[in-house]
Amino acid sequence: MGKLICLLIAAAALIWVAGAEMPLQFTQAMNNGHKEDRLAVMNYDSGAAFSEEYSNVERLERETQVRTGAFAAGASGSNGGGLEASINSNVIGTAHIGWQSYDPTPDSRGRHQLLGRSVEDLTGVFSIEKFIQLWSNSSPGEISVDWLPCC
């Protein structure tokens, strides 16, 4: 009879524990994963930088392709290079997309002159389709979309 009472008490305790709810703070912490996705690419030779960041993401479908490199010397004798990024994203959350071009040759104080930059901060439900080209030694006629000169 004593074993039966112990088994009933153990069964009642298991049922009570299974039905108990977690504290509110614990549930909020478990459900708020703060999903993040970040990508940063820099081409020091041509003075181009690109950054793509997503945070507080509920849903993210992202396809980003980045191509960067140094090219052969041009007619003026200076080396060329560049950075190209193709972004295609569907997001529920927060996004930050930025890029800049700067002179790869430092001035007399060792600083690199900023030539151009762009920053986009988005929050909500959105779709992004963007193509960015940052090339050194280029002019607006050579590049079609989001042109920023790099030296």
pLDDT (tens digit per residue) in 58-88:
889 999 999 988 765 544 445 567 889 999 9
pLDDT (tens digit per residue) in 12-52:
666 665 555 555 555 555 555 668 899 999 988 888 899 99
Q: What is the distance between the alpha carbons of residues 9 and 44, in angstroms, rounded to a whole number?
A: 70
Q: State the pLDDT at residue 9.
A: 80
Residue 147 pLDDT > 50: no
The Cβ of residue 131 has, within 10 Å, a number of other Cβ atoms equal to 13
Phi, psi of 9 (to 5 degrees): -65, -45
Question: Comparing C-alpha atoms, which of 33, 48, 59 is closest to residue 137?
Answer: 48
Are the C-beta atoms of 127 and 115 separated by less than 8 Å? no
Sequence-separated (6 or more) residues with CB below 8 Å from residue 119: 96, 97, 98
70-74, 89-93, 121-125, 131-135: least confident range: 70-74
Positions of E strands within 1-151: 37-43, 48-71, 80-102, 114-136, 147-150
Percent of the chain with pLDDT over 70: 68
State the chain's mean pLDDT as an integer: 77
